[in-house]
Structure 1
Amino acid sequence: MVYCGKPSRGCQMCRTRRIKCDETKPTCKQCAKSRRQCPGYKDEFDLVFRNETQATERRAQKASRKPSASKPHSSYPTAPAADTARRSSTEGGGPGLSFEQAGIIPVLGQHPEELAACHFVANFVLVPRQGSTRGFMDYLIPLLKQQPVDSPVHRAFNACAIASLGNRVASEAFDFEGKALGEYVKALSATHAAIKDPVLSKDDGVLAAVLLLGLFESSKSITAKQMGLFAWGSHTEGAVQLVKSRGREQLRTKTGLLLFIAVRTQMIIQTLASSKAPTMGVEWWLTDAVHVEVAGRCQRLCIKVAEIRAEVTRLMTAAQRTPENVELMLDMIRRVQTVDQECVNWMSNLPDLWRFKTVGWEDHVPNGDYEKAEVFPGRVDLYPDLYMASVYNMVRTSRLILASVLVRCAAWVCAPVDYRTTPEYATAARSCVDTITDIIASVPFHLGWHLKRPEIQQKHDLSGFACGEEDCMKGLAGYFLTWPLMCINGQDYATDAQRAWCTGRLKYIANELGVRYAGLLSGIKIRIPSMLIRRDGMMAQPNGMSGDFVKLASSRKSRSASPTANKPLQPLQQKESPGDAES
């Protein structure tokens, strides 16, 4: 039973006649018009994972009858070799096939849970091929081999794997959703029991399980609806607490260091999204905990940005308009400008190995449908590998956040004068327009645009997936893109066309790559910084609301228009549309 690509979902009669089926159920209209008895439709799971045993036997018999000068080489290992691969993985604690072979060896009769494990590793586990970069969840494979099958990390892995595959295929024969949720509940129970134990709570497998539980929240729509849009934040906070309790000893092992860096990355995204101050300071997170120097400098900048944003949010909530506080806000403006310049310097001083190049240019969108377009009009950039592209976009989204903080501070200082007349606003507008363009130019690379054009591919072989083929779209690429695309979607400085295109890409990631979290993000209607500035103006009222990004995303009021929308704009300022939150 092998994966044979996207099959026809027409009825058997239309497929036999080689005509297009309208897929009307229970009887298609083509059969009704021709007065034929419609034989019905196959189960979707059977369509995607088809049993090719008989067809393979026929091809083998046909080939054996042909005269040949030499014995042909077999494309696949014999059954004993496949059984050996399965046994070696099972003995090591991993599910199904060995992870190196799972994506390329079609094992006949493989159970959906084994297919799910292979699918997950081939889509989300990125491993470094050279020492100049790092992967994503590359600590997972050794842990799965070391931990028992009923451990928290195995339960959490099973939940993520089944949910991920269930988001890509549908089957009446196997309840992916129910099975994934059942494994999730078991993983939660096992993880909570382990955390209560002072010894087990410091185990690498427990921390990895918590990170996987957070990933599960963003891969399965049912949990996102029932537990809230940002439910993954609770798992991230739990992981941070575990890292603190584990102490600096965890940095002495490779797996411990990789887990620490993974938690740090999730912590940065969560603090940037929620306007909360990072737990512990920059030095605590970075000292003796850098695996790749270039990426370490990026995360240092991101933590600084999170700290500045949290401090500004606190000041907006409590500060009175006094000469001292005005000077404090002016000092915050200078700090923002300094950190933003550090971000620019980071991108300017990257080693050649990290450089991207522009490989294409799109002049227009077919039929003017931006939501369906693969490429937004403008340039297309190619990156050395997926991990490096994600690091670039972390710095870019941090610059967008810095620009919003800059404008908020300027608006507070100059109030009641229109903040859009300030030089800080003009600077932020130019910076954000350029940054948005850069992020958009990186999206086609993430979503496999270059895979259809082998003549422009640039293989650095810096990192790749633990199993499976590299020349196909991956779920991890969509997972990396959700945060940058949402940031663009909520920017005052993005055009309506850019917002429509980003919304379409988020829906594509949800529907085609199975990252359901992206579909929820595509429906959020916010405008930053205009809505934050509006909230900042309400701080003097009793029980005023803070500029929390999460609250804005969840609040019904976030869908209202900005009070400054009807004021005339200068030509540069017309790039933004702060009042069209419903567009």
Structure 2
Amino acid sequence: MVYRGRPSKSCRDCRRRDIKCDKKTEGCSQCSRAGLVCPGYRNPKELIIFNESDATIERVSGRRPVPISSSPNPLSTRLLPTVMQRAKGLYVSQYVRELPATSIFSFMQIFYPPIVHPIPLLETVTRAIFMANFSFSHGCHVALYQARAMYGSALKMTRKAIQLPEEAMLDRTVFAVILMCVFERLANFGNDALVNPHSHLSGACELMSLRGNTQFANRHSPIMLLHLTEIVVLDCLAREVDAPLQFLALRRMAAENGVDTSALKWRFWDIMLRYVQLESSLRLGLCSEAMLRANQLDAELEDLACGLPSFVSRRKSPAPLNHSSIGPVIYPDSLSLMRWNNIRVVRLILAKIIREQFAQIISSSSDHASTAHWLCESNRRAVDLAADI
């Protein structure tokens, strides 16, 4: 039984004839003119009860036409995942649930499941990252619009959070600011005059500096510093600038507090940071030790590659003639392939720097044989690296 609303105040005959009833006390005028006895009026406080028994439902359902579906087993849209669910699944599968503990953003798991917080900054930024990554991967403009809207909300929450000293020192606040740097890259804010894509990068360095030495006793802070290093290096290479002094001071603070940087990823990004400084020196014309520094970085990268999973080189060990052109993957996984190629690309750039420095000194050098040997060795190494990519 369901409530159908308040009943009409008109008499029964006027309702049946669908005319307006004047509802006079002694009887309505419409019934008098029609020569009818007015049956009177109902109590307006009564309820109209509609019979919804099982028998009635079954009888009415039998009269309704059965909808014809184009598919034999249609799937209700309510059972399909939302765009946010798909975006979250994509991001987590790509960047969070990797096997190595040092994979990008694997430490996001420490913030899950999310707790109820008065300023849901991290949750808002994370959802914006999900949608921005989904838009970047699938070209979904609707997802990018929603991501930008969430980013706008996160900006207001960030201003509110950094005004509270206790809130600004939390891991979740620092991590949220780091994620905002990533979002600004994904959402392509570089050409947006209203947004400074580097402000949150310097803000993240500032927040970590304010946290002082005690933060490195927390196992999460060194991991966040590692990812901040990655973002700073990529930003410096993109803008062709030197590493910020505040960030270098933060790195020295971490080293003084005994942060373990022996992992492969730490070593790689430490080399990349020194490569950024080498490029900055070359732009300033400080080339006196550029070749030695480039050779040293190349040797360290070659040593670092020894710790990567081995692979089968088809150039050095060609497949049989009857082997499929597709063939098995020569790397154990995609992460190993990415790491090998990252090292190769940087070594190729270093080889280019070495050749350029040789070209400058070969005219003034008297030992042409030694110089030619170094130049030939650099070219051979570059060819081998390019062939394996």
Give the TM-score band, short-chain normalised.
0.5 to 0.7
**Quick one: structure 1 residues 341 and 433, their matched pair in 2 at CA, closer, same or farther if it must change by over 3 Å?**
same
Aligned length: 301
Q: Which residue of 2 aligns with 1:162?
A: 131
Between the aligned partners of 1:140 and 1:340, the Cα distance in structure 2 is: 33
Question: Conserved in 1, the CA contact under 8 Å of 2:162 and 2:168?
Answer: yes
Query: AA paired with 1:120?
Result: Y
Question: Conserved in 2, the CA contact under 8 Å of 1:407 and 1:428?
Answer: yes
Within-5 A mapping of 1:527-546: none
Q: Which residue of 2 aligns with 1:141?
A: 109
Q: Which residue of 2 aligns with 1:336?
A: 294
Between the aligned partners of 2:219 and 2:99, the Cα distance in structure 1 is: 13
Q: Which residue of 2 aligns with 1:226?
A: 192
Between the aligned partners of 1:425 and 1:189, the Cα distance in structure 2 is: 56
Q: Which residue of 2 aligns with 1:401?
A: 349
Between the aligned partners of 2:235 and 2:206, the Cα distance in structure 1 is: 14
Report SS of the residue matched to 1:199. Answer: helix
Between the aligned partners of 1:272 and 1:168, the Cα distance in structure 2 is: 23
Shift of 1:206: 1.8
Between the aligned partners of 2:214 and 2:204, the Cα distance in structure 1 is: 16
Q: Which residue of 1 aligns with 2:387?
A: 437
- Provide, for residues 45-81 of structure 1, a one-character-per-residue CA deviation record: whole Å limited to 9, x for no partner: xxxxxxx995479xxxxxxxxxxxxxxxxxxxxxxxx
Q: Which residue of 2 aligns with 1:216?
A: 183
Between the aligned partners of 2:160 and 2:204, the Cα distance in structure 1 is: 15
**Quick one: structure 1 residues 432 and 382, their matched pair in 2 at CA, closer, same or farther if it must change by over 3 Å?**
same
Within-5 A mapping of 1:96-495: 108=79, 110-128=81-99, 133-144=101-112, 145-146=114-115, 148=117, 150-168=119-137, 175-221=142-188, 223-226=189-192, 233-273=198-238, 274-277=240-243, 279-280=247-248, 283-284=252-253, 286=255, 288-290=258-260, 293-316=263-286, 329-348=287-306, 350=307, 354-358=308-312, 381-384=330-333, 386=335, 388-413=336-361, 423=372, 426-438=376-388, 440=389
Report SS of the residue matched to 1:175. Answer: helix
- Provide, for residues 108-151 of structure 1, a one-character-per-residue CA deviation record: whole Å limited to 9, x for no partner: 2544333332332223323446xxx4222122233251363852
User: Which fold has the larger relative contact order, with Cα–Cα distance below 8 Å and residues 6 or more apart in sequence?
Assistant: 1
RMSD: 4.1
Between the aligned partners of 1:208 and 1:299, the Cα distance in structure 2 is: 19
Percentage of pairs with the same residue:
18
Shift of 1:170: 7.1
Between the aligned partners of 2:231 and 2:184, the Cα distance in structure 1 is: 13
- Provide, for residues 205-233 of structure 1, a one-character-per-residue CA deviation record: whole Å limited to 9, x for no partner: 12222222222233335x355369x9755
Shift of 1:180: 1.3
Query: AA paired with 2:153?
Result: K
Query: AA paired with 2:312?
Result: T
**Quick one: structure 1 residues 205 and 147, their matched pair in 2 at CA, closer, same or farther if it must change by over 3 Å?**
farther
Between the aligned partners of 1:272 and 1:225, the Cα distance in structure 2 is: 17
**Quick one: structure 1 residues 307 and 150, their matched pair in 2 at CA, closer, same or farther if it must change by over 3 Å?**
same
Between the aligned partners of 2:92 and 2:107, the Cα distance in structure 1 is: 12
Question: Conserved in 1, the CA contact under 8 Å of 2:95 and 2:106?
Answer: no
**Quick one: structure 1 residues 107 and 399, their matched pair in 2 at CA, closer, same or farther if it must change by over 3 Å?**
farther
Q: Unaligned regions of 5+ residues in structure 1, if any?
A: 1-51, 58-105, 317-328, 364-374, 441-583
**Quick one: structure 1 residues 139 and 380, their matched pair in 2 at CA, closer, same or farther if it must change by over 3 Å?**
closer
Query: AA paired with 1:303?
Result: L
Query: AA paired with 1:192?
Result: R
Between the aligned partners of 1:315 and 1:170, the Cα distance in structure 2 is: 42
Between the aligned partners of 1:125 and 1:164, the Cα distance in structure 2 is: 13
Query: AA paired with 1:137?
Result: F
Q: Which residue of 2 aligns with 1:503?
A: none
**Quick one: structure 1 residues 113 and 390, their matched pair in 2 at CA, closer, same or farther if it must change by over 3 Å?**
same
Question: Conserved in 1, the CA contact under 8 Å of 2:125 and 2:151?
Answer: yes
Within-5 A mapping of 1:493-504: none
Shift of 1:414: 5.7
Larger radius of gyration: 2
Between the aligned partners of 1:113 and 1:149, the Cα distance in structure 2 is: 23
Shift of 1:410: 3.9
Report SS of the residue matched to 2:177. Answer: helix
Query: AA paired with 1:289?
Result: V
